[in-house]
Amino acid sequence: MGDAADNRGPGTHARGIGVSPGVVIGPVFILASQAVTVVEQSLRPEEIDHEIARLEDALIATRGQLKAIQADLGERTGGRDASILDAHLMVLDDRAFVEEIITKTRRECCNVEVAVRDVAEDYAGMLASLKDDYLRERVADVRDVARRVIRNLLGDVDTALGTLTQKHIVVANDLAPSDTATLRKDVVSGFATDLGSPTSHTAVMARALEIPAVVALRDITQRVRSGDIVLMDGNKGVLIVNPSPEELEEYGALAEARKSIERGLNSLLHEPAETPDGHRIVLSANIEHPDEIEAVLQHGAEGVGLFRSEYLFIFRGAVVEEEEQAVAYTKLATQLYPAPVIIRTLDLGGDKFYHNGPARQETNPFLGCRSIRLSLQHPRQFKDQLRAILRASATGNVKMMYPMISNVDEVLQANELLAEAKQELRAQNVPFKEDIEVGVMVEVPSAALAADVLAEHVDFFSLGTNDLIQYTIAVDRVNERVAYLYEPTHPAVLRLIKMAVDAGHAKGIWVGVCGQMAADPVLAPLLVGMGVDELSVAPQAVPLVKDAVRSISFEQSRALAETVLKCHSGTEALRHCREMVRAAAPELLELV
């Protein structure tokens, strides 16, 4: 992107990732780093009890602050998305986390600020190593909580944003989720950050508050100064320093056009995901917390195609008992009834989640003991989860699926444990749905290649395209050096998807896609044309995908699939997809 000093002229463009839509213009307010400096101190043993008391006071103060922020956020968003801060509160309520801080303070006779910092970084490091994108994003939540606790220990109150008296576009290296939740539209018209991603809680907060935002701008804090006038496009992820009159006019027209398009999308809320020639697909939502149910309903999804059960385990570092799981799953199913809910069994790695000891280090954790492999190595705990899901299935609308299946033996072992769990519940006269549908995630190449064999033992497939792409073309999409190679339309990826769909249908089972490909309105028609029966996406993406499905006939989608499957490159395949959408629903290209 060049040197910051050379990139501040009129009309300078910076490109990042748009995470909250809207076009805004205004003066910049540079928000200084929110990092807290901790000075290490050695304490005498007799001082430790006082230090622990300070910690408890700081935890209480932090909880009060987060509850206040949560209540305010709920009031400003009509109850939507305030549950995001539950992740923060779970950290504070996790006694294993707190006890680890206390143990470190006593063992090392250090001031408690040091213990909070170090233990939080251990937790953050563990989460950062996980396969699941959403769980890796929770690193920011842990660090956010630790920063607030340390600030309360130090008596440090951050008032930087409190000095704003008129609307600004806030520019920062990063924004913590709880800080984002306090942004007020009367003084913050938008924000831009060096770091960040679309799935972070900071991004979700921005969308909930309807504050335009662009993240991952890399060095934007070095390229602008407080007072600079910038134009920011939260749809396309563009920030323009000192825009020209022509650019202002162009973006003003675009902003009005987008508002009109979004009003049209809202009108689709109660319409089915059905092509103009009558081909119907199921359009579901991916969620990770029961409190996201309202978002599922508000955006017109037909149920939950992926419920990430990890949220119950994420901050515990220990087993979550069957009863607590059953209550959470039943709440989810009851509130969405009669819409279907697919619960994915635990998709995590490392002994940290089953024992209080440290996580086992692996040379290559992405190819290591995780997901279904980990569950099968801990059959007792796995059966606890299976029984909890079965108990929730008594509502009649619950399905379940196993993650990261790579061979049929894993399915047979899991199904055997499921049969044992069913028998145990029968013996206790506990009701459940005897014929509960059981599926598998197809997210590694071996599962797609052996899909005909797997299909004989399950009721459905759900293609996790994020990992299927990553494993197929050997690309870590969060590695900046190779991320450009991450290509959903790579010929090998498309052939594996088609192979899995055809194998499933040949055995009489339905096939869904719950990865990011399904949420892209440019690629959704291609998936429909390849025969996919269900698309499951983030709730906010449902209207866009629904519009794409309703704009292109099934015959057109099938023809597109036939053409694309003959392409020799992903670039060529993507071009055909974009041309199809541009011809049928050009307005969608303005929103992606």
Assess whether 201 carries a catalytic annotation: yes
Question: Could you tell me which of 490, 456, 457 has the C-alpha nearest to residue 471?
Answer: 490
**List 88, 168, 201, 299, catalytic entry:** 201
List, in order, residues 6 or more apart from 572 with CB less than 8 Å away: none
For residue 384, give both structure tokens. 């606890």
Q: What is the four-CA torsion angle of 474, 477, 482, 487, rounded to 10 degrees?
A: 70
Q: How far apart are CA 323 and CA 466, in angstroms?
A: 32
Give the count of beta carbons closer than 10 Å to the beta carbon of residue 419: 11
3-class SS at 536?
strand
Q: How far apart are CA 373 and CA 367, in angstroms?
A: 10
Residues in the chain: 592
Is the distance from CB of 77 to CB of 111 less than 8 angstroms? no
Report angle CA 189, 145, 87 to the nearest 5 degrees: 85
For residue 149, give both structure tokens. 């606790």
Phi, psi for 493 (deg, rounded to 5)? -65, -50
Is the distance from CB of 535 to CB of 513 less than 8 angstroms? yes
For residue 92, give both structure tokens. 């504070």
Q: How far apart are CA 373 and CA 378, in angstroms?
A: 9
Burial-class residue 385 by CB neighbours within 10 Å (0-12, 13-18, 19+): buried
Report angle CA 133, 523, 504 to the nearest 5 degrees: 80
List, in order, residues 6 or more apart from 565 with CB less than 8 Å away: 491, 494, 495, 498, 530
Question: Could you tell me which of 484, 559, 528 has the C-alpha nearest to residue 283?
Answer: 528
Is the distance from CB of 168 to CB of 27 less than 8 angstroms? yes
Place of tokens 């519940």: 425
Is the distance from CB of 308 to CB of 292 less than 8 angstroms? no
Q: How far apart are CA 376 and CA 67, in angstroms?
A: 38
Is the distance from CB of 542 to CB of 285 less than 8 angstroms? yes
Is the distance from CB of 128 to CB of 136 less than 8 angstroms? yes
For residue 372, give both structure tokens. 């279904």
Report angle CA 192, 195, 196 to the nearest 5 degrees: 85
Q: Do β-strands 188-193 and 168-172 pair in parallel, antiparallel, or remain unpaired?
A: parallel
Distance of CA 175 to the CA centre of its chain: 17
Q: How far apart are CA 43 and CA 50, in angstroms?
A: 11
**List 168, 299, 514, 577, catalytic entry:** 514
Catalytic sites, residue numbers: 201, 514
